[in-house]
Amino acid sequence: MFQNRRRILIPLFLLLLAAVCVYIYYAFYQPLTLELQSKKRELQSEEKLIEALESQMGKTPSKPVIATNNLQQRLPVKPMTDQLLLDFEKIELLSNSTITEMNFTDGEVKEEANLLEDAKKEETNTANNSQADEQTTDQEKKKVQGEADTTAVPEVLPAGIEKISAQLTVESDSYAEMETFLAELEQQIRILNIEQLTFDGPEELDKLEGTDEPLVYDVTVAAYYMPELLSLMQDVPKVDTPNPAKKEDPFVKIND
């Protein structure tokens, strides 16, 4: 009887052991194996992504791309005379003044060495002229000396910068409006420099009689630009020009 029980228990034990092994395989080993395979696939995908990013970074330029639109509103890469004309027109309206004449001159800035050489030549010529003219009176000598002392120093700017000058003849009803015109010039976004201002005040007789004569003055304004930066031409600010009036005859006037 013991042998019969033994024959029954051994197969049951083996069957139970096999069931435990199967349970352990499906409950623990197989999930771990699947998770490990999933992690390997993720690792391979990450490695491929890193390789793609590295290759893309190698193709792109190392220098950062900077938009220069705002900077070129102050210092453009071309003269932008059209924008200057519009700015002058706005300043006319704000200051209640009228620009009766306008001339533009464009020129490169001389290098400092050339300017110094020109200054030395001018001093040498002045000295020679002073020594040659021995019959000049003391008053004339003082006048020549004063003019030599007040000679304007040539403007020296960084290399690559050029300037365009505008000679304006302006009429304003009063001195206050002339001040407004000049102040508006200096407050523009673009870098402008008032190089020269000349005007004649009203005569004493006009002041006493109270006649209102317009104040006429000449202003020389300099604007600067950098034409060597051709790579930034695509960032040049757009000129907001008004729409055309579409007049067949520009001199037609409407009578009231």
Highest mean pLDDT: which of 68-77, 90-99, 116-125, 244-253?
90-99
Res. 65: pLDDT tops 80? no
Write the pLDDT tens digit of every residue in 179-232.
Answer: 999 999 999 988 899 999 998 876 665 555 656 788 999 999 999 988 887 777
pLDDT on residue 144: 41
Q: How far is CA 144 from the centre of its chain?
A: 44
Res. 62: pLDDT tops 60? no
Where is average pLDDT lowest: 45-59, 60-74, 81-95, 195-209?
60-74
- Count of other CB atoms within 10 angstroms of residue 166: 21
Which residue would you say has higher pLDDT here, 62 or 57? 57
Which residue would you say has higher pLDDT here, 216 or 131? 216
Decide: helix, strand or coil at residue 133: coil
pLDDT on residue 154: 59
CATH architecture of 71-125+154-235: 2-Layer Sandwich (3.30)
- Tokens 């001018």 — which residue? 122
HEC secondary structure over 136-200: CCHHHHHHHHHHHHCCCCCCCCCCCCEEEEEEEEEEECCHHHHHHHHHHHHCCCCCEEEEEEEEC
| Cα–Cα distance measured from residue 77 to residue 73, given in angstroms and rounded to the nearest whole number | 10
pLDDT on residue 223: 92
Q: Is 80 left (phi over 0), alpha (psi -120 to 50) or beta?
A: left
For the chain, the C-alpha Rg in angstroms (whole number) is: 43
Calculate mean pLDDT across residues 13-41.
Answer: 85
pLDDT on residue 221: 94
Res. 152: pLDDT tops 80? no
| Whether the model pTM is above 0.85 | no
pLDDT on residue 193: 92
Calculate mean pLDDT across residues 136-148.
Answer: 47
Calculate mean pLDDT across residues 83-94.
Answer: 92
